[in-house]
Chain A
Amino acid sequence: MYDKSNQTNVNNDNNINDLNKDPGKGFGVPEGYFESFNSRLMARIQMEEELKAYPNLSALEKKNCFEVPENYFETRNFVQAALNAEDEKEAVVVRLSAYIRKYGLSIAAMLIIVLGTAIYFKAYNKTEVKVTDCAELACLSKEDITSSRYFEQISIDELETVASTTMLDSIGTQMNKEILDEIMADPDAMNITDEDLGI
């Protein structure tokens, strides 16, 4: 009995010796676990020390109160989403506001030039009608009409629109004189009787 128990003790001693030789036998740890243990421990102590200054905050249990839908990480396929996104051609969106911000000054300057030019031409640059190029009455100036040799062919209405009464009087006087001169220059004219004239 004694011997047997003694034997068991010997076996236990052997196991302890084995454990001391390779205590992690059969277990694995993440790569670099022991190497980084010291720095991780110090970081943790530093964290605790930092929180000491805030008793209410440090008294709270540090836990994650947010949840995710069941099997979210197992079923959500971010890889496929990334692949799909690569296939899709990105739509080119022209943002007007950004465009204006970038080229605002140029656009404003261009508008001012265009508007200025339009106003200038409308207000100051009237098209001159060259009288010599136009044979119609509407294009003639008053001076041209009054000095025209064909003045007598113009109707009274047309004359009234283009000439003042005073001018017409002077024109009439001039016409009478011209007719009288023509009569005087014509030798046959002197032979006209009162009958010819209908008097």
Chain B
Amino acid sequence: MAELNDEEILKLFSVESTRESAFSMLVNKYQRKLYWHIRKMVIDHDDTDDVLQNTFIKTWKGLDGFKNESALFTWLYRIATNEALTFLRKKQKENTQSIHPIEYQLSKSLESDNYFKGDQIQLKLQQAILSLPEKQRIVFNLRYYEEMPYEEMSLVLDTSVGALKASYHHAAKKVEEFLLAN
């Protein structure tokens, strides 16, 4: 069966009898993209799984009220980003005995992560990315790995294109410096 476009999925979702199957199509279409977007932010697979589940629960609950003002894809990315950030802040708050920021803990956990298969230089790159401020990290991942155009990113992060370009260049410069220093 050919993959339906977002508009067709939304149309099916609005009908009670096809609601569930439409949502199933939406999940199949976007789960991988959203998973990797979240994974780059929270690093751990199990945490990613939790955040992705919450993202789809929120999507299910909010899809009725979704207005076609933005693309479904950007709306989903926005939910996923917010969920990941909420998760990281909650994790930081819960881990009160550690004096280090959450990014440092994620960086350390990466070294022992069974699902991380990168070599030493890839590990350094991930650690460099994790040393970035929260917003710059998201922008860098979306641009560098997902090659998302700034215009789309602007809709996801609700930030101007100019600010995003500046943010990406600051981030890339820091990563470059980190790689040189380490």
Spell out A's residues near B (CB within 8 Å): 31, 43-44, 47, 50-51, 53-57, 60, 62-69, 73, 76, 78-79, 81-83, 85-86
Binds A, one of B19-27, B66-74, B79-87, B95-103: B19-27
Give the size category of B's interface with A: 35 or more
Is B172's CB within 8 Å of the partner chain A?
A: yes
Of B53, B118, B119, B172, the contact of A78 (CB 8 Å cutoff): B53
Q: Is the beta-carbon distance between B172 and A54 smaller than 8 angstroms?
A: yes
Q: Is the beta-carbon distance between B49 and A76 smaller than 8 angstroms?
A: yes
Provide the bound-state CA to CA distance between A31 and B172, in Å. 34
Of B36, B119, B125, B147, the contact of A44 (CB 8 Å cutoff): B147
- Closest chain B CB from A179 CB (angstroms): 90
- Closest chain A CB from B85 CB (angstroms): 19
Number of A-B contacts (CB under 8 A): 90
Which 4 pairs between the two chains have the least Cβ-Cβ distance?
A65-B118, A82-B60, A54-B176, A78-B56
Q: Is the beta-carbon distance between B45 and A68 smaller than 8 angstroms?
A: yes
A-B contacts, 5 listed (Cβ < 8 Å): A73-B31, A82-B23, A82-B60, A85-B60, A86-B57
- Closest chain B CB from A32 CB (angstroms): 10
Q: Which residues of B contact A44 (CB under 8 A)?
A: 147
Main secondary structure of the interface of A (DSSP, over half): helix
Q: Is the beta-carbon distance between B168 and A65 smaller than 8 angstroms?
A: no
Of A51, A56, A63, A67, the contact of B115 (CB 8 Å cutoff): A67
Q: Is the beta-carbon distance between A81 and B20 smaller than 8 angstroms?
A: no
Provide the bound-state CA to CA distance between A64 and B40, in Å. 10
Q: Which parts of B97-149 form the interface with A (CB within 8 Å)?
A: 115-119, 121-123, 125-126, 143-145, 147, 149
The residue in chain A whose Cβ has the minimal distance to the Cβ of B63 is A82
Is B156's CB within 8 Å of the partner chain A?
A: no
